[in-house]
Amino acid sequence: MVVDSASTDDRTAATGREAGAELVRCSVPGTSRARNAGLAGVDEELVAFTDDDCLVSPDWTTALVAAFAEDAGAAFVTGQVRADADVHRRAWLAVSLTTDARPRRLGPGDDPSTFGHGANMAWRRRELERIGGFDESMGPATSLRAGEDVDAWWRALRAGMTGFYTPEAVVVHRQWRSRRAALRSHYGYGVGAGALAVKRYRTAAVQGRAGARRQLLRGLVLDEGLGPVWRSVRQGHEIGAAANALMFLGGLEGARRAARLAVVDGRFTPDLDGQS
């Protein structure tokens, strides 16, 4: 299935027809909205997702199915996201990669930001539906820019689910961005991470977990913010320091934007009363 996320020409429809895929049209853009539209259009037990700038390996779905069979309790599976050949000549273009060669189970106590990327993930359809699909206030083409994949994994863990990472399922992410565009992407990733941090903070606050709230704040400011910037500076990685600095600034902006939204059933929604 190909989901046309509010494109302005007919190339997506033409490509979908040429590939023999079913086409779903969304009149309003948004990666999360598109994924939910695709999810609503299938009734298979397993559903897998990739992005429009990625190429899946020929045995991609076979590897995902095998991973679900290996871990029968897994609600979701993720895999490798490798760069195309260009990244080896221009390393500063590397965006959204996961190259861990070791399989592992993903569960409570694990950091969902380390699970992989939405360009290579599969779910048991009913489990994804049980958490309400993807948060349509998050991800590309929204004000919160990114983080919709990590958010879904986080909500799955909160619901008592587990996942599995398999290096056998491989997707190649084309590194098409210029250096400036790649840096803008890091800022966007920060916006999504900051928004998710606010959601997690509010959840911990409702549950009265002061220690969890302090840990989240420390993670946003130090572990995911200033810490990576300082390490890149010490290692002499100027581009890395710039990218990490932009992610930190994006995180602050994402937190500010998310503070204007209410959280209902684990998803953001506009706060009509103007209260955070």
Structure pTM? Answer: 0.89
Per-residue pLDDT of the chain (276 residues; tens, 9 = 90+): 999 999 888 887 788 888 899 999 999 999 999 999 999 999 999 999 999 999 999 999 999 999 999 999 999 999 999 998 655 555 555 788 999 999 999 999 999 999 999 999 999 999 999 999 999 999 999 999 999 999 999 999 999 999 999 999 999 999 888 888 889 999 999 999 999 999 988 888 766 665 655 665 566 555 555 666 556 556 766 777 788 888 889 988 998 999 999 999 899 987 544 333
Residue 44 contacts residue 123 (beta carbons within 8 Å): no
Architecture of domain 43-173: Alpha-Beta Complex (3.90)
Residue 155 contacts residue 71 (beta carbons within 8 Å): no
Length of the chain: 276
Which residue type occupies 23? Answer: L
Whole-angstrom Cα distance, residue 112 to residue 210? 21
Supply 133's token pair: 């699909």
Residue 157 contacts residue 107 (beta carbons within 8 Å): yes
Strands 74-83 and 162-173: parallel
Supply 181's token pair: 């565009």
Strands 23-26 and 261-264: unpaired
Q: How far is CA 204 from CA 27, 210, 213, in A?
A: 36, 7, 6
